[in-house]
Structure 1
Amino acid sequence: MPRPLSIVLVEPDADRAAEVGDALRAAGEFELHLIHDTNRLARQIQALNPDVVLIDLENPSRDTLEELTLASGALERPVAMFVDRAGEGLSAAAIEAGVSAYVVDGMQPNRLKPILDAAIARFALFQRMRTELAETKRALEERKVIDRAKGMIMKARGINEEQAYALMRKTAMNKNQRMADVAQSLVTAAELLS
């Protein structure tokens, strides 16, 4: 059986926190941690290491928004922010800072579960996109190194591109290494010798 979702609720108002806690308990099984004092917020959230962070503020300033978002680890976990009023450009700043859901008109307990689900799904989507982007960048860098090493082999041995590639592939198989690693070794050695 999977463990319950761990949620940190940043809510300065104790009555409001109790109301949200009741709504979460009614929506499913969650492990809820309350943070009333936003001083040292980053440490508090880091110590709890939750799966999700919910932040409820009346009317945050841009500085408060940035501080809370950085403290909540928006790139590490889904963050849903609930505000009573939207300031100029705050929603765009929140999304840019990594907030998964930015809801104006406050946290309404009956809407909490669907918003929580949407924030988790959106976060998962962006995590996959970040992973794919990192893998694509890595593959592109490896391709550049392989092409550079191939060019060096072609020039040094006076062979064509296909023969240089075959030589690199054979070397990689013989050494039980990846082509990119063989190419990087060649490029590094050439840099040392020049």
Structure 2
Amino acid sequence: MKPGSPSTSSAPTGGRPLRIVIVNSVPHLEEDHDEAAHEQAQLRAEALRAGLLDAGYNIIAALPADLSLPDRIAGLQPDMIIIEAESDARDVLEHIVIATRDERRPIVMFTEDDDTSSMEAAMAAGVTAYIVAGLHSERVKPVLDVALARFRQEQKLLAELSDTRNKLAERKLVERAKGVLMARKGLSEDQAYQKLRGMAMNRNLKLSEVAQRLLDAEDLLG
């Protein structure tokens, strides 16, 4: 595949390439006097970018891990965030949590930190995949494919869980409203349900909405 050519697995919608923001939390040379470590970090960064381009991903920005990161990410609206972290990345994780609080995105972290507590902190912060060492350009696409698939599965499960909770909450509202009608009107359970259903149809509302209105009225009337 030619560098920059679209990949089917890297296209989230409409066949367009996945839009990537890279966040770099690797210290600059003037902050870290270990030239060998700095060179190694540069090699990892080059391997990452080569792998992304070879797979057809669209690198829309490379951002520093600073206080402006949440606003920059909110403005760019990337499909995925990739973090380059040489070691402890607690600061960048805090910024990422803020940036993705309202709109979840897959986050992949490439790091040299194999400490279990660091990994647990990253996953708790919303990191989808935590990749330690051994970064080669040919590994980038498979790693991101797996991360994206995992993220989509997690989002599907969360949506299903939310839907189940909403349905349970609505069912409880209807049961409470039926109880009010049965007590106030002397109706049977089926009659109370049919009355609620008729009210919902006449007002073009959901059954739970009618139930909530009835309960609100009951609270006002005492």
Equivalent residues, number = 192
Question: Hey, what does 1:8 align to over in structure 2?
Answer: 21
What is the CA distance between 1:37 and its match in structure 2?
2.2
Gaps of 5+ in 2: 1-13, 27-40
| Residues 76-91 of structure 1: pairs in structure 2 closer than 5 A | 76-91=104-119
Q: 1:163 to 1:88 in 2, by over 3 A?
A: same
Q: Does residue 182 of the first structure (1) align with residue 197 of the second (2)?
A: no
Q: Does residue 101 of the first structure (1) align with residue 129 of the second (2)?
A: yes
Q: In the aligned structure 2, how far is the partner of 1:8 from the partner of 1:92?
A: 23
Q: Does residue 33 of the first structure (1) align with residue 60 of the second (2)?
A: yes
Contact 2:63 2:69 in 1 (8 A): no
Q: 1:81 to 1:73 in 2, by over 3 A?
A: same
Out of 152, 169, 184, which is 1:124 matched to? 152
What is the CA distance between 1:174 and its match in structure 2?
2.0
Q: 1:65 to 1:88 in 2, by over 3 A?
A: farther
Q: 1:176 to 1:43 in 2, by over 3 A?
A: closer
- Give deviations 1:29-58, integer Å, cap 9, x for gaps: 221034252222222222221101111111
| Residues 128-167 of structure 1: pairs in structure 2 closer than 5 A | 128-167=156-195
Superposition RMSD on alpha carbons, in Å? 2.0
Q: In the aligned structure 1, how far is the partner of 2:116 from the partner of 2:204?
A: 57
Query: For structure 1, which segment, 52-61 or 183-192, has the greater mean C-alpha deviation from structure 2 after superposition?
Result: 52-61
Query: For structure 1, which segment, 5-14 or 166-175, has the greater mean C-alpha deviation from structure 2 after superposition?
Result: 5-14
* 3-state SS of 2:64 partner: coil
Q: In the aligned structure 2, how far is the partner of 1:18 from the partner of 1:184?
A: 58
Q: In the aligned structure 1, how far is the partner of 2:45 from the partner of 2:99?
A: 17
* 3-state SS of 1:89 partner: helix
Q: In the aligned structure 1, how far is the partner of 2:73 from the partner of 2:170?
A: 37
Out of 14, 18, 22, which is 2:50 matched to? 22
Query: For structure 1, which segment, 9-18 or 75-84, has the greater mean C-alpha deviation from structure 2 after superposition?
Result: 9-18
Out of 73, 86, 91, which is 1:64 matched to? 91
Q: In the aligned structure 2, how far is the partner of 1:91 from the partner of 1:9?
A: 19
One-letter identity of the residue aligned with 2:210: V
Q: In the aligned structure 2, how far is the partner of 1:65 from the partner of 1:183?
A: 46
TM-score, reference length from structure 1: 0.89
Q: In the aligned structure 2, how far is the partner of 1:35 from the partner of 1:70?
A: 18
- Give deviations 1:132-187, integer Å, cap 9, x for gaps: 11111111111111001000000011121111111111221222221111111100
* 3-state SS of 1:60 partner: coil
- Percent identity at matched positions? 36
Query: For structure 1, which segment, 129-138 or 112-121, has the greater mean C-alpha deviation from structure 2 after superposition?
Result: 129-138
One-letter identity of the residue aligned with 1:188: D
Query: For structure 1, which segment, 9-18 or 97-106, has the greater mean C-alpha deviation from structure 2 after superposition?
Result: 9-18
What is the CA distance between 1:19 and its match in structure 2?
3.2
